[in-house]
Amino acid sequence: MLKMVKKFFDFCNQKNRTKLYQSVGLGVLEAMFTAMKIPAAFCAIRAALSGTITSGDLLTVIGLMLLSTIGKMVINRFSSMLQTEAGYDTCALKRIEIGEHLRYLPMGYFNDTSLGHITSVTTNTMEQVGDIATRAIMMVLQGGITTVVITFFMFVFDLRIGLISLAGIGIFLLVNRWTNKCVAQVADEKLSADRDMVGVILEYIQGIAEIRNYNMFARNRSRMGKAIERKKKADIAAELAAIPAVGVQNLIVKLIGVVIACASLFFYLEGSMDLVYTITMLLCSFMVFESLDMAGTFTALLKVIGKGVDLANEILDIKQMDIAGENIVPEHRDIHLEHVSFAYENRKIIDDVTLDIKENTTTAIVGPSGGGKTTITSLIARFWDVQEGEVTLGGRNVKDYSFDSLMENFSFVFQRVYLFEDTIANNIRFGRPEATMEEVMEAAKKAACHDFIMALPDGYDTMIGEGGASLSGGEKQRIAIARAIMKDAPIIILDEATANVDPENEKELTEAIENLTKQKTIIMIAHRLKTVRNADQILVVDKGRIAQKGTHEELMRQGGIYRNFIAGRKQAVSWKLA
C-alpha cells in the first residue's frame, strides 16, 4: 500500500510532491481534530455518570466537539485542494513530458509501437491516474493517519485496548496485501485490453476510407467487437477479483472492532476497567477502524495508479537519440553519406551507401518499392541514426548538431500530409509560429492555395478537421507546401509529394513546388518522369544500394533499372482505352 503511494509521490515533480507532503501534514492535523471527539465523549460520559453535569462540563464538551468539527472541515478543505492540484497537475505535466520525450525518439519506435498504446497511456491511463490518485491516495493516507491517531488516544486511555487496536492494524495490513495481490492478477489484463481497444478503434477510424472501398465492414466490426468484448470481460474480471477481497478485508476490520468492544466489556466485568473508560472504548471500537475501512476499499485502486505510473515511465524510459549536440550553422550545406548501413529489426535496409549531394542542386531518388529510398532521406535528416558509416551536413556529422539546429536546415513535404485541427492560418504558421498574417498570406500565394482559402467561409480563420479531413488531397498538399515555404529551410525533402494528386490540382501543385524549391537543395523521391528528368543527379536505389547514379541522359545511355523505369512510365502514360 505505502509502496504504491511512494511510487506516485516519486512520479510527481518537486513542486507537486511538496504539495502532497503538505497534505500529509495537514492530514495529521485533521486526524487529531477527528480524534478530539474521544475526549469530548469521555468528558460527557464522565459527567453523566457522576449524576451532576456542570456548565463547565457542558462548555468543555461543546467546545471540543465544535473544535473537532470545524477544525476537520477547514483542514480537509485545504488538504483536499493540495492533493487534487498535485494529482491533476502531475498528469497534465506528464502528458507534456511524454510528448517532448517522443519528439526525440528514433522513428523506428513509432513503427513497432502501436499508436493505440501511446494514445491510451496519454489519455485513458493518465486520466485514470489523475482521477483516482486524487481520491484514493487522499482516502488511504487519511484513513491510515486517522486510525493511528485514534489508536494513540486508546493507548492513553488503556494500554491493553491500544495493543489490541495495534494488532488489528497489523492484521489489516496482511489482509490488504492479499487484496492487492488479487487485484494485481487482473490489473495487467485490464490495462492491456484498454490499450488494444483504443488501438483497434483508432485504426478503424483512420482506415475508414479503405474499409469502405473494399467493403471490409464485417471483418473490422468483428475485430472491434472482439476488442470491446475483451475490455468488458477484463473490467468485469477486475471487479469480481476486487469485490470479494475488499469484502473480506472490510469484514476483518469490523470483526476487530467487535474484539475491541468485547475486550472492553470483559475488562469491565472483571473489574479492571472503570465504566467511563469502558463506554469510551466501546465508542472508539466503532471509530478506530471506520477510516481504515474506507481506506481499505480504495487501496485496490492504488494498483491501477501504480500500473498507470509504470506505463508512463515505460515510455519515458525509452532511450532517446543523442540530441545534446552543438547549435551549428554550417558554412555550406553539402550532404555526404560515407559507407552508410542501416538495419531495422535485423533486416538490412541500407547497405554500404556512399553518395554526395551538393548545395543548391536537385537530387531525384527513384527505384523499386521497398528499396530504401525513404530510409535514405530519413537518415539524412536523422530521423534514425546510422549503424555504420556517417552522414555529414556542411562537413560535420549530423550527430554533432543539436537536433533543433539540425532541423532548421530541413523542410519536408510528404505524400501523406498531416494538418492539425486548427485554423488554416495556424497550420501554415506552424513553419514559423511568430509569422504575421501578411507573411502567412504571402506564403499561401506562393503555394497556390490563397484563392481556395479565400473561397472558404472564414478564409484563413477556417477551422479544418483533424488531419485535414475537410480538405482535398491537393489542397492539403499545397497548405503543407505553404508551411514549408514559411519555414524557408535551405534543404527541401519531397517524398512523393505529387504521387496521389488529381489532375485538376497537379498544375497548381507543380507551381507551388517550384516556388518552394527556388535556390534550395532539393532531394525528391518521385515516380513521375517529368519530376526527375531535369534533376542534377538521379540516384537509383535497389535493395538498399545505389544501383545507378547520374543524369537522365547518362542513365538512359547505361540501360538497366532506370531505363526500364522510364520505359514503363512512358507506356503507362500512353496507355488508353481502345
pLDDT at 470 over 70: no
What's the pLDDT score for residue 356? 92
What's the pLDDT score for residue 576? 42
List, by residue range, all CATH 3.40.50.300 domains of the chain: 328-405+518-578, 410-488
| Proportion of the chain above pLDDT 70, given as a percent | 85
Which has the higher per-residue pLDDT, 564 or 393? 393
Neighbouring CB atoms inside 10 A of 383's CB total: 16
Residue for grid cell 551507401: 353
What's the pLDDT score for residue 358? 92
What's the pLDDT score for residue 209? 56
pLDDT at 171 over 70: yes
pLDDT at 112 over 50: no
State pLDDT tens for residues 540-575.
888 889 988 988 888 888 878 888 877 766 655 444
Q: Which of 23-32, 77-86, 403-412, 504-513 has the lowest mean pLDDT?
A: 504-513
pLDDT at 30 over 70: yes
Average pLDDT over residues 501-518: 66
What's the pLDDT score for residue 577? 40
pLDDT at 254 over 60: yes
DSSP string, 394-463: TTEEGGGB-HHHHHTTEEEEESS----SSBHHHHHHTTSTT--HHHHHHHHHHTT-HHHHHTSTTGGG-B
Which has the higher per-residue pLDDT, 187 or 333? 333
What's the pLDDT score for residue 154? 87
State pLDDT tens for residues 288-315.
777 777 776 677 677 777 777 888 888 8
CATH 1.20.1560.10 given to domain 2-316: yes
Pairing of strands 521-525, 537-542: unpaired
State pLDDT tens for residues 201-238.
766 666 665 555 555 556 556 777 787 888 888 878 77
Average pLDDT over residues 397-410: 88
Q: How confident is the model at residue 96 (pLDDT cuts 50, 70, 90)?
A: confident
Residues forming a β-bridge with 130: none
As a whole number, the mean pLDDT across the chain is 80
Which has the higher per-residue pLDDT, 270 or 499? 270
pLDDT at 55 over 50: yes
List, by residue range, all CATH 1.20.1560.10 domains of the chain: 2-316
Amino acid present at 266? F
What would the grid cell of residue 395 be? 562537413
Closest CA to 285 of 264, 268, 260: 260
> From the centroid of its chain, how far is CA 578?
56
CB within 8 Å of 447: residues ≥ 6 apart: 478, 479, 481, 482, 485, 512, 515, 516
Average pLDDT over residues 191-206: 71
Rg of the chain over Cα atoms, rounded to whole angstroms, equals 35
What's the pLDDT score for residue 262? 92
Which has the higher per-residue pLDDT, 287 or 110? 287
| Range 328-405+518-578: architecture per CATH | 3-Layer(aba) Sandwich (3.40)
State pLDDT tens for residues 332-372.
899 999 999 998 777 888 999 999 999 988 898 988 888 88
Q: How confident is the model at residue 469 (pLDDT cuts 50, 70, 90)?
A: low
Average pLDDT over residues 399-418: 84
CATH 3.40.50.300 given to domain 410-488: yes
State pLDDT tens for residues 113-161.
556 677 778 877 787 777 777 777 777 777 788 888 888 888 888 899 9
